[in-house]
Amino acid sequence: MSGLKLRNVKKSFGSVNVIKGVDLDIEDKQFVVFVGPSGCGKSTLLRMIAGLEQISSGDLFIGDKRMNDVDPANRGIAMVFQSYALYPHMTVRENMGFALKFAGASKEEIAQRVGEAARILELGALLDRFPKQLSGGQRQRVAIGRAIVRHPDVFLFDEPLSNLDAELRVHMRIEIARLHKELQTTIIYVTHDQVEAMTLADKIVVLRDGIIEQAGSPLELYDNPDNLFVAGFIGSPKMNLLDGTAEAGGIRLADFPGQLLPSPVAVPAGTPVTVGIRPEHFDPEGAAALETKVEIIEHLGGETYAYARGEGRTLLTLATDNNRTLKPGDRYQARFHPSALLVFGKDGKRIR
């Protein structure tokens, strides 16, 4: 069991810098999710931890040991791949036991470990099948089983659910959460899906262009984003972001020039700002309001989202407290508590 430390870790392919200096502490038994848009370097960072990519500079510690130049096999890790990477000519049992043969495990020990993994993942009935006879979810479980039998200190998951359909993805997400509870090991998990990140993680690391934008617990990132990127990336539906200017006594939004909104933070007058408010933070009891015109209504049953506009071009997403009588074309007063507003400077940084 062990944590990880990354110190100013960098990676470049030729003259292209992919990871531009990452500092990160991962505690023992923590479930950490790397999340970010495609091309942000999250998979590369994971592969560097695995040892599949060389670290150009900086230090990687797993436990207390510097692992930069240690062979992948000796880092105490196991990895689950997006494509599952099962050996197509071997049965489920052979797939899971294959690597153990080369670690010097006895036949009995292999059988015992495979049996244990099969029990945890409910693969008992499938042990003599070949990968091509399994469904996507079953293959994913075999890939996880192959990782479990090695009793690693750290599990690495590289977008493990991307190839599954939506329903199965939710199911496997719960399975993985359960697995983390049962195995009590460190897990590093890469995904581009912020819902997966929110639901699974103890700690989310948001990456963009090879740097960490923010790292913290899911709710910390949701409630208290450091910058515009994290604010826009975490949360579904996305946060509404509106441009405006600070004035004495409040903020005036470009799309709602007739109103002066009370600002939750002190901003010098004349400063251009971006104001963020989450769709679900609109509240009929709120003290402040925006006058909007509804354009589109989405009924989800439990909630009704309205897409509405002020005088500008920005389409706001509003949770309406399940107001089922709203129709497109209606005027709608989007009320909210001024404290729910997040204010960002022109550089994208949060003004607190």
Of 247, 242, 249, 303, which Cα lies nearest the Cα of 274?
Answer: 242
Kindly state the smallest distance separating residue 109's Cβ from other proteins, in Å: 15
CA angle 93, 129, 76 (to 5 degrees): 30
Q: Which is nearer to other proteins, 89 or 349 (CB)?
A: 89
- Residue 154 three-state SS: strand
Kindly state the smallest distance separating residue 103's Cβ from other proteins, in Å: 6
Q: Which is nearer to other proteins, 72 or 257 (CB)?
A: 72
Kindly state the smallest distance separating residue 290's Cβ from other proteins, in Å: 49
In whole angstroms, what is the distance from residue 239 CA to residue 242 CA?
A: 10
Q: Which residues of 247-284 are buried (b: 16+ CB within 10 A; e: fewer)?
A: eeebbbbebbeeebbebbeebeeeeebbbbbbbbbbee
Q: Per DSSP, what are the bridge partners of residue 256?
A: 253
| Residue 213, Cβ density class (10 Å: 0-12 exposed, 13-18 middle, ≥19 buried) | buried
Kindly state the smallest distance separating residue 190's Cβ from other proteins, in Å: 13
Of 170, 118, 124, which Cα lies nearest the Cα of 146?
Answer: 118
Kindly state the smallest distance separating residue 102's Cβ from other proteins, in Å: 5
In whole angstroms, what is the distance from residue 78 CA to residue 149 CA?
A: 9
Instruction: Tell me if 275 sits within 8 A of 258, measured CB to CB.
Output: no
What the block records as the tokens of 267 is 């901003």
- Residue 344 three-state SS: strand
Of 323, 339, 332, which Cα lies nearest the Cα of 276?
Answer: 339
Q: Which is nearer to other proteins, 71 or 347 (CB)?
A: 71
Q: Which is nearer to other proteins, 99 or 241 (CB)?
A: 99
Kindly state the smallest distance separating residue 16's Cβ from other proteins, in Å: 17
Q: Which is nearer to other proteins, 50 or 215 (CB)?
A: 50
Kindly state the smallest distance separating residue 138's Cβ from other proteins, in Å: 13
Q: Which is nearer to other proteins, 40 or 77 (CB)?
A: 77
Which parts of the chain fold into alpha helices (H)? Answer: 42-50, 92-102, 107-121, 136-148, 166-183, 194-200, 218-223, 228-233
Kindly state the smallest distance separating residue 81's Cβ from other proteins, in Å: 4
Neighbouring C-beta atoms of residue 131, cutoff 10 Å: 19
Prior bond to 237 cis, omega within 30? yes
Q: Which is nearer to other proteins, 83 or 217 (CB)?
A: 83
Kindly state the smallest distance separating residue 34's Cβ from other proteins, in Å: 18
Instruction: Tell me if 188 sits within 8 A of 32, measured CB to CB.
Output: yes
Q: Which is nearer to other proteins, 135 or 217 (CB)?
A: 135
Q: Which is nearer to other proteins, 133 or 217 (CB)?
A: 133
In whole angstroms, what is the distance from residue 124 CA to residue 312 CA?
A: 60
Instruction: Tell me if 100 sits within 8 A of 83, measured CB to CB.
Output: no
Residues of this chain that interact with other proteins (CB under 8 A) are 50-52, 72-74, 77-79, 81-83, 85-89, 91, 98-99, 102-103, 125-130, 133, 146, 150
